[in-house]
């Protein structure tokens, strides 16, 4: 349960809001690289943290993300011409480069020198890992206030070893984050029926552990980068099955794999970023990676294809299964096959998270022991926002190396310490040290 005041602090992300100010201290995904793949291609509309933006790739291949509205008469630059290293407004021909400089003003006499007095709001943008990343916070006179991008291992991997997707989620970012770090729901929301567990002898052992032991024991720890979440379930007679989720500030998660092997040291892993569009809409980013080998064509399609596990989606990245069609819930399937009757893990997540309303009223919740990770994340992120309002910058944003970690799942002896037993599985691999 949160107070009304803290719930508003948590959920409001527009310019000048405490949480919005905090999120702007971090780099985060803005769009897929494929959306602006070619130089001088049409500009693309963006909306992030309640701000309308326009993205384009100039003639030299540089990426620009600007305030969407021309500073002259506030015409939307989506209608602009992307040409000769700049985006030109079609209303009066004012032209802006990727840094927001007005490089041409044909509607004004040259002798006025007016163009040099006009500066369009622009945000730094970098392509990495199939995504275009953006930084919307203070930069300082020489960029000294701008942090480096987080050192996520997956973002440095070759293209054949990773996938990145996004999909629209029609609810506040915080309730999406909380769904991602809620490890107890997978035994229900994403499960088969009890009859299926009994009848299907070919299910991976991990899936069976999730279905048989539906009340995991949690151990939640604050760490430098965020919150480390362990969920312990009964495994074999002499072992526990552990799922270790990484929650990295402000809105990233590394999700434990589910595989038949005894450990996940060579397994692909998955993660999310929950990037606010505005107070009531979120971009749900999903990345999958395998540091040890290339994905097979089938694996790449399942994890990264628009019609795979994370799809289907329409041309606007909205799921085909959505609240307008009740996520295509099949009551017969719910009775005989799956716990929800909704196909696809992300659709199951979206259904329950969006059903709470655009912004859930956390003052009316009753949280239990299984919600300890959610409580820990709320406390941490709210404290960070309040500290920033008091002048304390978030250390997490300025330590990119903290983000080089993995999630994991494994069996351990019942007398084995889970932190020691999983340390080697949670460590990330080598990443390039070149500065941004």
The string of DSSP codes covering 146-163 is PPPPP--HHHHS-GGGEE
Q: What is the mean pLDDT of residues 72-89?
A: 96
Q: Per-residue confidence at 119, pLDDT binned at 50, 70, 90?
A: very high
In the chain, ranges of CATH 2.102.10.10 domains:
27-135
pLDDT digits (tens, 9 = 90+) for 161-219: 999 999 999 999 999 999 988 877 776 787 775 544 444 444 444 456 766 667 788 89
pLDDT for 378 beyond 60 = yes
CA–CA separation, 319 vs 379, rounded Å? 31
Radius of gyration of the chain measured on its C-alpha atoms: 23
CA distance 168 to 36: 19
pTM of the predicted model as reported, rounded to 2 decimal places: 0.92
Per CATH, domain 153-426 is 3.90.380.10 = yes
Tokens representing 394 are 């978030």
Q: Is the pLDDT of residue 374 over 80?
A: yes
| Averaged pLDDT, 282-299 | 91
- The pLDDT value given to residue 207: 59
Ranking 204-218, 257-271, 315-329, 339-353 by mean pLDDT, the lowest is 204-218
Q: How confident is the model at residue 261 (pLDDT cuts 50, 70, 90)?
A: low
Residues in the chain, how many? 436
Residues forming CATH 3.90.380.10 domain(s) in the chain: 153-426
Q: What's the rounded Cα separation, in Å, for the pair 104 and 57?
A: 18
CATH of 27-135, one of 3.40.50.1100, 2.102.10.10, 3.40.50.300, 3.40.50.720: 2.102.10.10
């Amino acid at each position: 349960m949160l107070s009304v005041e803290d719930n508003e602090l948590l959920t409001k992300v527009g310019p000048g809001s405490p949480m919005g100010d905090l999120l702007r201290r971090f780099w985060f995904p803005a769009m897929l690289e494929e959306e602006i793949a070619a130089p001088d291609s049409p500009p693309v509309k963006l909306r992030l943290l309640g701000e309308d933006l326009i993205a384009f790739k100039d003639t030299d291949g540089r990426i620009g993300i600007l305030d969407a509205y021309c500073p002259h008469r506030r015409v939307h630059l989506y209608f602009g011409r992307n040409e000769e290293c700049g985006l030109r407004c079609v209303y009066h021909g004012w032209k802006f480069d990727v840094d927001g400089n007005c490089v041409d003003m044909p509607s004004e006499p040259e002798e006025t020198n007016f163009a040099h007095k006009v500066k369009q709001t622009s945000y730094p943008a970098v392509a990495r890992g199939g995504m275009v990343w953006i930084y919307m916070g203070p930069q300082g006179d020489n960029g000294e206030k701008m942090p480096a991008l987080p050192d996520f291992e997956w973002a440095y991997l070759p293209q054949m070893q990773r996938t990145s997707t996004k999909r629209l989620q029609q609810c506040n970012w915080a309730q999406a984050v909380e769904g991602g770090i809620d490890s107890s729901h997978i035994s229900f929301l994403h499960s088969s029926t009890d009859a299926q567990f009994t009848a299907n002898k070919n299910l991976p052992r991990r899936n069976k552990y999730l279905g048989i032991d539906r009340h995991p024991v949690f151990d939640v720890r604050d760490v430098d980068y965020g919150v480390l979440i362990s969920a312990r379930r009964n495994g074999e007679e002499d072992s526990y099955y552990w799922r270790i989720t990484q929650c990295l500030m402000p809105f990233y998660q590394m999700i434990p794999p589910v595989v038949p092997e005894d450990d996940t040291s060579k397994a692909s892993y998955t993660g999310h970023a929950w990037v606010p569009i505005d107070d009531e809409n979120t971009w749900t980013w999903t990345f999958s990676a395998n540091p040890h080998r290339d994905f097979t064509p089938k694996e790449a399609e399942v994890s990264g294809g628009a019609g795979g596990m994370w799809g289907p989606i329409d041309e606007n990245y909205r799921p085909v299964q959505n609240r307008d069609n009740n996520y295509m819930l099949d009551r017969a399937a719910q009775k005989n096959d799956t716990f929800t009757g909704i196909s696809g893990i992300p659709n199951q997540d979206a259904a329950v998270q969006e059903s709470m309303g655009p912004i859930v009223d956390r003052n009316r919740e009753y949280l239990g022991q299984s919600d300890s990770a959610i409580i820990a994340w709320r406390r941490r992120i709210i404290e960070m926002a309040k500290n920033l309002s008091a002048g304390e910058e978030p250390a997490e944003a300025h330590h990119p190396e903290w983000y080089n970690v993995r999630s994991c799942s494994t069996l351990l002896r019942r007398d084995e310490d889970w932190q020691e037993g999983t340390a080697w599985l949670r460590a990330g691999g080598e990443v390039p040290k070149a500065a941004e």
